[in-house]
Amino acid sequence: MDTARGLKVVVVGATGNLGTGIVEALGREPDVAEIAGVARRPTEWTSPKATFTVADTTTDDFRPIVRGADAVIHLSWLFQPTHRPEVTWENNVLGAISVFEAAAAEKVPALIYSSSVAAYSPGRSTDRVTEDWPTHGWPGAAYPREKSYLERFLDTLELRAPEMRIVRMRPYFLFKRESATSQRRLFVGPLLPGNLLRSGLLPVMPLVEDLRAQVLHTSDVADAFVRATVRPVRAFSLATEPPVDGAFLAEMFSARKIPVPRAALRKAVRAAWHAHLVPASPGLLDTVLQLPLLDGTRARTELGWEPQYSPPEILEEFLSGLREGAGMPTAPLAPDTAGRRAHEVATGIGQRP
């Protein structure tokens, strides 16, 4: 990729958690001259080198949008409505394919796609798998099905468009202070009182067998995406150490540890989801319970990437954001208010895309 004139990078899904982080990181990258951010809804947010376009991957022609780009970064994703998987499929799969096809048709040199740890096939939560672990996902939930399907589509696109460098980034769970309200809306819903999320106020913490995950700061993941944009690389798992589990959280909250069977947790989530009390589906819980841990060696050696935030720092910042209702002036990251919580209830928890 010729960086002499400065790169033009199109970021599809530029106003969400990862999108805002990547746009900011691209703005600091000397090799990048122009950032074209794309989002479904208008935004008041601005960032150096960036201009923003309103477009929907399910209805708009993306060929004019990606024309002349040196790289396209695709992030656009819907988690809701969780009770209508055909809606998320249309945006997440068919919409992504429309962007991928547009990039190939316009002969964009590089396509960087935000896949996920959920694209990986189930594994033991004690094993750390590398990028060659199968990406067949878990069929019991929309999120891993959609991520896995796009991995297969990109396999075929690499054969049809060998001149285009296709990069698949597969991060574990990522957080920042400004994403706290958004992620509360997406996964927990409006009934969680943020003020309870501080040390000493939660009396107990459930311990679920083999439930552990790796967490990342959004800015660290954004840095990896920028490095993958300007270097001739292909696929990376992104993760930090150590993993987070119930014991880790119990210590953070000074709470007493209470063992909870997997079946009991799943039953509770299933009942709450069917009653429209939480947006996260039981299938998504099943996915998390079967995720392997990731080995991030390749990102460190080939990208020169090193996370700057530790898991305790990431979670402390995120929890602070939850307590304060933090956000940004974009539609996906709008900060918390009593009126917004009431609107979530009125429009149906987990129903709005």
CA distance 81 to 203: 32
**pLDDT tens digits, one per residue of 257-294:** 999 999 999 999 999 999 999 999 999 999 999 999 99
Calculate mean pLDDT across residues 35-52: 97
Q: Can you spell out the DSSP letters for 80-146?
A: --TT-HHHHHIIIIIIHHHHHHHHHHTT-SEEEEE--GGGSPP--TT-EE-TTS-----TTSHHHHH
**pLDDT tens digits, one per residue of 131-178:** 999 999 999 999 999 999 999 999 999 999 999 999 999 999 999 999
Residue 118: pLDDT above 90?
Answer: yes
CA dihedral 279, 340, 317, 137 (to 10 degrees): 20
152: Cβ–Cβ under 8 A, 6 or more apart, which residues? Answer: none
Q: What is the pLDDT of residue 181?
A: 94
Q: What is the pLDDT of residue 343?
A: 81
Calculate mean pLDDT across residues 300-319: 96
CA distance 167 to 139: 24
Q: What is the DSSP letter of 199?
A: T
CA distance 21 to 224: 11
Calculate mean pLDDT across residues 193-222: 85
Q: What is the pLDDT of residue 137?
A: 95
Report the candidate in 125, 184, 166, 213 with the shortest Cα–Cα distance to residue 318: 184
Report the candidate in 176, 156, 255 with the shortest Cα–Cα distance to residue 220: 176
